[in-house]
Amino acid sequence: KTAMRIVEIMKVMEARHPVVMATRVSAEESAEIQAALPQATYFEMARICAIQPSVPLAIRPGKLSILTAGTADLPVAEEAAVTAELCGFQVTRLWDVGVAGIHRLLSNRHVIDQSDVLIVAAGMEGALPSVVAGLVDCPVVAVPTSVGYGASFNGLAPLLTMLNSCATGIG
């Protein structure tokens, strides 16, 4: 969609909803959107342009943690984190805790164990969600990313790994 089309949509939605988001927005598009809607905020890493209520939403119950295997997964993970925060959830971020340095994951076990839901983004071979799901008894949302190096085949390899996981609780 063009920036001006996004502006039209956001204006209509703002009258009906306390939070309005446009995702996958470039910095250039966000500048055009913010010129027309100065109340909009741009979250650069997440690539989200949003209109938020003047009074923050009530905090929703539950502990949501978002993990990434590597730093290349950050834009996808930040998109999930900002979306959750705009919807009223408190989010804990654990970046770069992939299986290549599993000590980074295990040193954050207390955060993982206290979470009610985990969103786990991974590219390359996509092993992190399976490892995490083997450690916890809460739902794990596995998110394959199309970034990374090696033979990830633009996200196909991590997707297949996540679909074939034998760990319970993965969606």
Range of the domain at 136: 64-164
* 117: in domain: yes
pTM for the complete prediction? Answer: 0.89
**Do 43 and 73 share a domain, yes or no?**
no
54 near 83, Cβ under 8 Å? no
Residue 58: partners with Cβ closer than 8 Å, 6 or more residues away: 88
* 170: in domain: no
Is the per-residue pLDDT at 149 higher than 70? no
Is the per-residue pLDDT at 160 higher than 80? no
The top-scoring range by mean pLDDT among 34-43, 48-57, 115-124 is 34-43
Domains of the chain: total: 2
**Do 46 and 81 share a domain, yes or no?**
no
* 97: in domain: yes
Total Cβ atoms within 10 A of residue 140: 28
107-139 per-position pLDDT tens digit: 999 999 999 999 999 888 888 999 999 999 999
**Do 139 and 80 share a domain, yes or no?**
yes
